[in-house]
Amino acid sequence: MSEILYIVVPCYNEQEVLPETAARLGRKLRELQEKEWINERSRVLFVNDGSKDGTWNLIRQYCGESEMFGGVNLSRNRGHQNALLAGITVAAEHADMLVSMDADLQDDIEAIDKMILAYRQGNDVVYGVRSSRKTDSFLKRNTAQLFYRLMKFLGAEIVYNHADYRLLSKRAARALLSFDEVNLFLRGIVPLVGFKSTSVYYERAERFAGKSKYPLGKMLTFAMEGITSLSVKPIRMITMGGAFICLVSLFMLVKAIADYCRGDVVPGWTSMMVSIWVLGGLQLFAIGVIGEYIGKTYLETKGRPRFIIESVILDEGEQSL
Ligand code: UDP
Ligand code: MG
């Protein structure tokens, strides 16, 4: 018997692109069902992440038109990662495997076939990896490049050029859900889940319609989130830096005393000012990094829910929670 697939799609203000996305994913699901690769009870599950436009109304409409579609409505906007997690939570209850992807059709949906094949060969996690970044803007391509390098340097294990397009088996999804951190950076946690995994490659297209919901500011926050939630290396680097500076200051002390003895004390204004500024800057930066981790700890200790589901539409119609 073929297995149940859920395609989980987080959506935030995606009314421009959603009609096309629903049409294409619907066709894909049909095609896979006709090939008997997946079960009749497979679904496309849209997660509405507190959109301010007509996104939820569209999702409702699709759910009404065909039982191929399902919807999860979050009580407010919680960000891409949390919305995705909400979708995975619902999908893990019903599906044998799930594929997560963005709503904007940047990820080539034909790669789903390859993912299912890899799943059938016994992989629990199949990463969708883009083979090129030709369609990204110069800025996005280079900042992304820098980000992966930095992550690698800091010792966080993430798959190069893989975002959130991936297949998870039921047990991998359940394992992922058992990581209950509030500071969520899924692509860093999935490798920690383990199980047999592989990658499939695809060309990434441009956004089909609508605007990117990740402007530069949000991207930087996301990168910071990724680094600080996966690695404590920055803190260690600060400690090392501090130790090094202490060592240097010891030499400076000796030099200062020697200069004093030689009566050579008035010049040095420049070097003094420079070192005050540099050290001041370094200290502030170091405190900032430490503060970042303390802030994270604070948020984790509160253990607030990562998302709140307002209602779910699956086979039984809309259910408010
Ligand atoms: N998204 C979301 N909540 C948000 C921001 C984005 O669910 O607060 C969804 C968005 O609808 C899309 C996916 O996350 O399906 C990726 O966003 P986008 O395509 O804008 O990011 P980019 O591809 O530009 O990095
Ligand atoms: Mg996109």
> Cα separation of 151 and 321, whole Å?
38
Question: Residue 213 C-alpha to ligand 1 middle, in angstroms?
Answer: 5
Q: What is the pLDDT of residue 162?
A: 86
- Shared-domain flag, residues 146 and 200: yes
Question: Residue 78 C-alpha to ligand 2 middle, in angstroms?
Answer: 17
What Rg value do the Cα atoms of the chain yield, rounded? 25
Higher pLDDT pick, 276 / 21: 21
Number of separate domains in the chain = 2
State the residue range of the domain holding 258: 233-301
User: Contact, 61 vs 23, CB < 8 A?
Assistant: no
- Shared-domain flag, residues 11 and 117: yes
User: Contact, 83 vs 306, CB < 8 A?
Assistant: no
Ligand 1 atom nearest residue 212's Cα:
20
Residue 82 resides in a domain: yes
Q: What confidence tens digit (pLDDT) does each residue in 123-158 have?
A: 999 999 988 767 677 777 787 788 888 877 877 778
Ligand 1 pocket, Cβ-based, cut-off 6 angstroms: 10-12, 14, 49, 77, 79-80, 83, 102-104, 106, 212-214
- Shared-domain flag, residues 226 and 269: no
Q: What is the pLDDT of residue 57?
A: 93
State pTM to two decimals. Answer: 0.75
Q: What is the pLDDT of residue 55?
A: 94
- Shared-domain flag, residues 222 and 255: no
Residue 266 resides in a domain: yes
Among 230, 256, 282, residue at a domain's last position: 230
Structure tokens at 297: 């700890």
Among 180, 207, 230, residue at a domain's last position: 230
Q: What is the pLDDT of residue 1?
A: 59
Residue whose pair of structure tokens reads 């910071």 in the numeric block: 224
What are the φ and ψ backbone dihedral angles of 271, each rounded to 5 degrees? -65, -35
SS3 for 228-251 is HHHCCHHHHHHHHHHHHHHHHHHH
Mean pLDDT, residues 78-85 taken together? 93
